[in-house]
Structure 1
Amino acid sequence: MKATIFQNPATTTAPATPPSANFAAYWFAGKAELNSYTLQQAQYGVLNPGEAVLIFVTEDFRTDKQVKSETPESHDKSIPVLKTNLSKKFATGVYDYSLFTSVFTPVSNPSFPNTLKVSTSAQEWCGHSYLQLNYATNTYHIDSKSYFENEVAEEYEVAKTMLEDELWNRIRLAPDKLPVGQIQLIPGTITARLRHKRLEPLPANAKLANYEGVLFPGKLLQSYTVQYPTDDRTVMIVFESAFPHKIVGWEETYKSKDNLLTSRAVLKKTIQSDYWNHNAPADSTLRRELLIGR
């Protein structure tokens, strides 16, 4: 995969509101932040061991077609976004699950205050599914395809509101601006796929606090907790209070086959890399460093 031609400090599209010097030095240096996590994922009423990888990178993103900008001609139609790529892999008994989500959130642009796009794919030995949300004027347009009969092809719109999937980006961009109290959120797409739930805005209670536990590594940690009272589900993201607000893990609690279970991801390793330039066999050492955690 080639990096976008604008992904370097000299030529990248400038945000409408210039970021701080620290932000620009970290996020516009032409590298991605790669994080690996030890994963315990609820499915079929038990917790299944696996691994998660969380990637953050800035890139130029077309606002008209909502795709990555890769040509000089599309430069004036693009804005810089912070992209989350979240990969989860785990096994249930004899067979595998592979889940992947991409989230595209404008860095700092009053004309585009909302996340523009989310796409999620799920593969397992029974079949696979794909779900995409695209921002429109006052709504998110949702297009879904699935192997499963009851959700084989769905196309609908939901009211524009904040997305659970964008919370990871919002933490990296400005955790002090996270909404607290009673809010509306569109739940996470990966969990919706695992639970075969249709997406719709749900009432939620959100809280930002100091993290007092011992399960996650790091110093001066904060937690952002979202509780869905109508869905019996809670999500907690734990991150460093100091810039660049690295995410050290998360938890998600809900019923799976009538068992109340907590999925958990705990940070193992963080590296910065222009990973798209490291695709030769010799680069497997970099992969080993990331996934093994040393």
Structure 2
Amino acid sequence: MKYAAYACLLVLLWSSCTSKQRTEINFKEWGNYWFQGKAEISSFQLSQHRYGESRDGQAVLIFVTEDFSRKKQVKLDKPEEAGKDKISVIKMNQTRDFITGIYPYHMMLSTFTPTKEASQGIKFTASVQEWCGQTFTQFNYSGKDSYKGKLYSYFEQEGDQSLSLNGLMEDDLWNLLRINPNQIPLGSAKVIPSLFYQRLSHRDFSTEEAFISIKDISERRSQLEVVYAKGFRELRIDFEKSFPYQIMGWEEVNIRGNGQQEVTTAKRMAIKTTDYWKLNKVEDEYLRQELQLR
């Protein structure tokens, strides 16, 4: 309870001290796409490296805007009554499903980033379920590049932890890219590696020096690249140059201490814009075929 109250106080202080708006964005065009009451869903053919081998699987990216509570950092039930507590965010849900031998992995990452206010992402969660057990991680923004977090794990060495880190969340880059690539800080930066990476590598949470760049890879596509200075991880996200900057695929290269590279790739299969939360009947299951989802 003390931790929750402390986090809420910090968030309120942060929100009262900053109202700077994002610039160089055509929010009329942006709003016509993102504020139409629908989500963008894209499916990917996944090759996930795990336990020394590449595993075939599927990934899904769901992007949607929501009204969020500054104080509680959750989706508002009654945004029309929230007043200054309301903040518009873009949410990414990323899921990955693959098989390791006899048993399956189910992974989900959620990120929440203000749409119009020039702020870092304000909440990040990741969960991993497999037959050995499950883990859950959550970080909340507490102002001035600072995050407070919790890790719940079934591994004895990790146990349950409280965490404090400063820096830019790697997982925030996906949302910043979708808002506008010009919102991504280029060059050297203090970055907190992806929550998925931390879960699969079991590395201690830390802030690392990384170099962030964007380059053209074809007439219509660009690539966001993140390379960590210590040489343990690289991330590349391919996206369309023009709005709404749709993501076409990505590559993760994790380098072990012995120099072995573990490469994970994802290539887009299909995309659909829909209010999926209303499509929950048996008769709606055919829509999964349009997304080429098993």
Cα displacement (A) at 1:226: 0.6
2:40 pairs with 1:33: yes
Whether 1:176 and 2:177 are equivalent positions in the alignment is: no
Q: RMSD of the TM alignment (CA)?
A: 1.8
**For 1:53 and 1:242, how far apart are their aligned partners in 2?**
21
Shift of 1:16: 5.8
Q: Does 1:84 align with 2:92?
A: yes
Change (3 A) 1:106 1:57: same
> Within 2, Cα distance between the matches of 1:181 and 1:257?
25
Query: Counterpart in 2 of 1:147?
Result: 154
Distance in 2 (alpha carbons) for counterparts of 1:224 and 1:257: 25
Quick check: 1:167 aligned with 2:173?
yes
- Are 2:244 and 1:244 aligned? yes
Q: Does the CA-based 8 Å contact 1:37-1:249 persist in structure 2?
A: yes
Distance between the aligned counterparts of 2:242 and 2:28, measured in 1? 15
Cα displacement string for residues 164-193 of structure 1 (whole angstroms, at most 9, x for unaligned residues):
101110111110232222111110001100
Q: Which amino acid aligns with 2:52?
A: G
Quote the offset at 1:194 in angstroms: 0.6
Secondary structure at the counterpart of residue 149 of structure 1: coil
C-alpha separation in 2, matches of 1:282 and 1:268: 23
* Cα distance in 2, alignment partners of residues 240 and 51 from structure 1: 21
- 5 Å-filtered alignment, 1:193-232, equals 193-212=199-218, 220-232=220-232
Which amino acid is 2:129 matched to? Q
Change over 3 Å in CA distance of 1:146–1:22 after alignment to 2: same
What is the TM-score with the length of structure 1 in the denominator?
0.87
How big is each residue's C-alpha offset from its partner over 1:6-27, in whole Å with a ceiling of 9 and x where there is no partner? Answer: xxxxxxxxx9669522111100
Counterparts in 2 of 1:91-110, with a 5 A limit?
91-110=99-118
CA distance in 1, matches of 2:135, 2:257: 21
TM-score, length basis structure 2: 0.87
Letter in 1 for 2:47: Q
The SS at the match of 1:291 is: coil
Given candidates 47, 52, 76, the residue that maps to 2:54 is 47
User: Match of 1:200, as an amino acid?
Assistant: S
**CA offset at residue 146 of structure 1?**
0.5
**How many residue pairs are counted as aligned between the two chains?**
270
**What are structure 1's unaligned runs of at least 5 residues?**
1-14, 213-218
SS at match of 1:150: coil
Question: Which stretch shifts more, 69-78 or 84-93?
Answer: 69-78
Aligned in 2, Cα 1:19/1:80: closer, same or farther, shift over 3 Å? farther
CA distance in 2, matches of 1:73, 1:198: 41
Shift, 1:75, TM fit: 4.7
Map Cα deviations across residues 41-90 of structure 1 (whole Å, 9 max, x no partner): 11111111100000000000000000000124335411110000000000
Deviation at 1:156, TM superposition (A): 1.6
- Opposite residue 44 of structure 1, the aligned amino acid is Y
Tell me how far apart the structure 1 counterparts of residues 205 and 281 of structure 2 sit (CA, whole Å).
39
Answer whether contact 2:59 2:97 (CA < 8 A) is retained. yes
Give yes or no for contact 2:41–2:273 (8 Å, CA) kept in 1. yes
Between 1:229-238 and 1:83-92, the stretch displaced more is 229-238
1:272 counterpart letter in structure 2: T
Which ranges in structure 2 are unaligned for 5 or more consecutive residues?
1-19
% identity of equivalent residues: 35
Contact preservation (8 Å) 1:43, 1:256: no
Secondary structure of residue in 1 paired with 2:157: helix
State the 1:162 CA deviation.
Answer: 1.4
Taking a change above 3 Å as real, the CA distance of residues 136 and 97 of structure 1, as seen in their structure-2 partners, is: same
CA contact (8 A) 1:162 1:184 kept: yes
